[in-house]
Amino acid sequence: MSNLEQQVTTSPPGPFLSVRDLSVEFSTEDGIVHAVDGLSFDLRKGTTLGIVGESGSGKSVTNLAILGLHDPDHTKIGGEIWLEDRELTGADRATMERLRGNRISMIFQDPLTALSPFHTIGRQIGEVYRKHRGASKKEARERAIEMLSRVGIPQPATRVDHYPHEFSGGMRQRAMIAMALVCDPDLVIADEPTTALDVTVQAQILDLLKELQQQTGTAVILITHDLGVVANTADDILVMYAGRAVERGTVREVLTEPRHPYTWGLLSSMPRLTSSVDAPLKPVRGTPPSLLSPPPGCPFHPRCDYPELAGPELCRTQRPEISPATGHGDACYLSLRQKTEIRTAQIEDHA
């Protein structure tokens, strides 16, 4: 039996990607960092899940766990990650290497660090295709040209022989997308794919991702600190704070009826079309907690304005779980009525 066959365990039919009670801990000189704690979510084929949170919220760590890219000597991973019928947290290195670039691929924030400056764009795209598809050099070059054309690079037959430094920032990001999609992956993880780009190019890249996804049916995880980025791109949103999910739902649910005080904070820190240019943005007050010693109770309580309403003792001592179990849910002890009243007052204040 091959290693791959040994890794395959049968699970009930369900979502394309299913993360269950995931925990990721790193050993450091200062102690154990609890980077992800009890995270569960599902992703359906052909849809985009936006994972949103400040840096250190655990969103990138979660995706490195899906990709199997953590250092096994210093990382402890608990829970389960199911990619259809395959469980990934127990998969060996060879299995994960086969999956990466082939069934799962990644688009990084900064293509300059992800692309080698020493090889042409075409060679780098073609190498991924050759490695996973056993294609000849000629086939790989033709595929690279086809992919550059699909991502909107002009004169792809010429550009294929250019080096990354000869591309603009936006074109490099398009080339990264071409490389990520060259093997028609089932899942693409895009980690802050547009942060380094100006606003116009950012919108073009997000539109491109969406268009390609509609053509291929690929599932996408879009990691970002910016709720505005997911508004037009994602189907569902998962808001993370201190390694835990604090709110999840469809884009419409989370953006039009946000329920968690942290999501309210993220929304009020976003510029709005209706605001005057000099209207001050309101960042979430305070700073994220240290994951070496996360606060007891609700991890957001040191920054939250509402423990007195929800029950200060409860907020400071008992960790809220996300509820309800399916659909639009959040991890906060405020009642739905209190949340609606607070949100209505916030909107009236901003009107």
- Strand-pair partners of 275: none
Minimum distance, C-beta of residue 309 to ligand SF4, in the bound complex (Å):
7
Residue 17 carries which DSSP code? E
Q: Indicate the residue among 53 and 156 with the shorter CB distance to ligand SF4.
A: 53
Determine the straight-line distance between the first and last CA of the chain, rounded to whole angstroms. Answer: 65
Q: Indicate the residue among 310 and 322 with the shorter CB distance to ligand SF4.
A: 310
Phi/psi at 82 (5° precision) = -105, 125
Q: What tokens were used for 301?
A: 């309580």
Annotate 58-88 with DSSP letters as a single string. Answer: SHHHHHHHHHT-S-TTTEEEEEEEEETTEES
Q: Indicate the residue among 48 and 57 with the shorter CB distance to ligand SF4.
A: 57
Minimum distance, C-beta of residue 241 to ligand SF4, in the bound complex (Å):
9
Contacts of 130 by beta carbon, 8 Å cutoff, 6+ apart = 136, 137, 140
Minimum distance, C-beta of residue 188 to ligand SF4, in the bound complex (Å):
32
Residue 322 in contact with residue 329, Cβ under 8 Å?
yes
Minimum distance, C-beta of residue 56 to ligand SF4, in the bound complex (Å):
18
Minimum distance, C-beta of residue 296 to ligand SF4, in the bound complex (Å):
11
**Separation of alpha carbons 321 and 319, rounded Å:** 6
Q: Indicate the residue among 88 and 310 with the shorter CB distance to ligand SF4.
A: 310
Q: Indicate the residue among 187 and 315 with the shorter CB distance to ligand SF4.
A: 315
For ligand SF4, the binding residues (CB under 6 A) are 261, 298, 300-301, 304, 306-307, 310, 315, 320, 332-334
